[in-house]
Structure 1
Amino acid sequence: MIKDFINSNFGSDMKGLYVSFFKEYVGWEVNRPFKTSNFSMLLVRSGNLKLKINNQILLLSAHDLVYIPKNTICNLIDRNELLQVCIMITQQASFSSAFNTKNYPSITLNTIDFKLVLQLFKLLDLKNKNITYSIYNNELMKNSFNLFLYEIKIIYNKYRDCEAHGITRKELLVAQFINYIVLHCKERHSVQFFADALCISPGYLNRIVKQITDKTAKDLICEGLLIEAKILLKNSQITIFNIADELEFNNYSSFSTFFKRHTSLSPSEYRLQLNSH
């Protein structure tokens, strides 16, 4: 099933590349090695797949992206009933220049990058299905292909850089979380907001932040908010009521309670202390 698609014959009516979405595992041949006749890329949407590429065995699961070169010995060793994959194939040799499969045969995408790649697959599939035969066909598909390749290059290089520097996916997410705090903590105080921005659950965000920083996600948000409050309190021209409003607290009282809980001083006491120095 997958073998037949990967080794599709590119006739004169082909538009440069094809995308297919496999949602059923019934009929897939396992332990039947075959040689690929096209360049292909496989994105796992759900489930698990054990795949052998030449002499390397890959254990793949949701969000894994795999590039399979042309003339590769490929073998589907095992899969489970939840497996759903997207596959793109092309004969364009320029596709291979984006990847270093010797050291990085596959990458595990975070949720944001997974959704991006999935949308690119869908875009290419849509254009293939809806394009009409005209003198503009080749140019349209060429532009779509270049967009896909450009985005994939960026994503692959990002994950290769992370591996080269020993940065894990969790560490990358926490770094993104801290960057978002710097940008948004003045107006956004909830863990839910930042988890949504990272396309992960609040529970998962809390777990990885705790693992890496030994603090909760809320702790880091409060620290960022406290820094903003202290910066504003240094400016004696801004009233504390206005500071509470700028930091999106419901009222002066809630801001004062927050500030005193973290500094043991009320905002006015902190400002007086600054002035005394």
Structure 2
Amino acid sequence: MDASIPVNPELLRAVGLPEPGGDSKDARGRVLVAAGCLEVPGAILLCAEAALRVGAGKVRIATCRDLALPVGLALPEARVLALPQTPEGRIAPEAAGLVAGQARGCDAFLVGPGMMDDADTSGLVRALLADPPGAALVLDAGAMAALAEDPDLVRCLEPHAVITPHAGEMARLLGRERDAIETDPLGAAREAASRFRTVTVMKGARTHVVLPDGTAYRHEAGHPGLATAGSGDVLAGLIAGLLARGAEPRDAALWGVWLHGAAGRRCARDCGGIGFLARELSPAVPSILAGVLAGTEA
């Protein structure tokens, strides 16, 4: 089972995307982003803007109390929930009930960007998933550490959750050395997708998207400039926004990976190579998305 399917515009057009019904914001879907800490506040903005740029109608942000006001001012399109925080400036595990209540009113739920891989984050994620809210779920960054401790956390979710590890995070998930993951990223993605029953996005120079049944897709049309701080937060936000629009987890992952890579190529073209910033990716997405759907983006 070594063969994988290339991700390209032809595949994406065959997959398609749900068209929002009517002209209301709610018809385009609602995303809840639970993210951030005082050390990494910008991740919240990167993923939340990406969700809006890919077409989600509304974004709610749940973050620690000291970040809520500046985040709301920086992204005035979002509704922001100020949560209890730990002395270290992270979302407190006891905030899980507040976050879960918000998630029940949303179509997609993104957890983890800008969160630390520590006991507080694992406790929060475990509490959130003890009573799954029903929204399509994306676990990113620090939130994935909870899976390493309890592989059953998301196994029975329908639709399947999406996880977005890079090599270091995958090593933690599978209990291996990073070198082993980098030697066989597709094999690692297949193992994770099977173990956790997730749509697994194994990020890298070649990104693999693997389904729980072992079906694998590969994306090779990114750009080296995407290896920059915050880039993964943008990808997670794109996937969450597409889920909110009604895309199935596989389709949201495939579209998100392609749009992320295409935005990187466009930014590289405009700036002359590497050196573009993660915040510059999302503004490129709407026109790229329109081009793929119209058959003019290759």
Compare the two structures and name the one with the higher strand fraction.
1
Normalised-by-shorter TM-score class: under 0.3
- TM-score under structure 2 length normalisation: 0.25
* Structure number with bigger Rg: 1
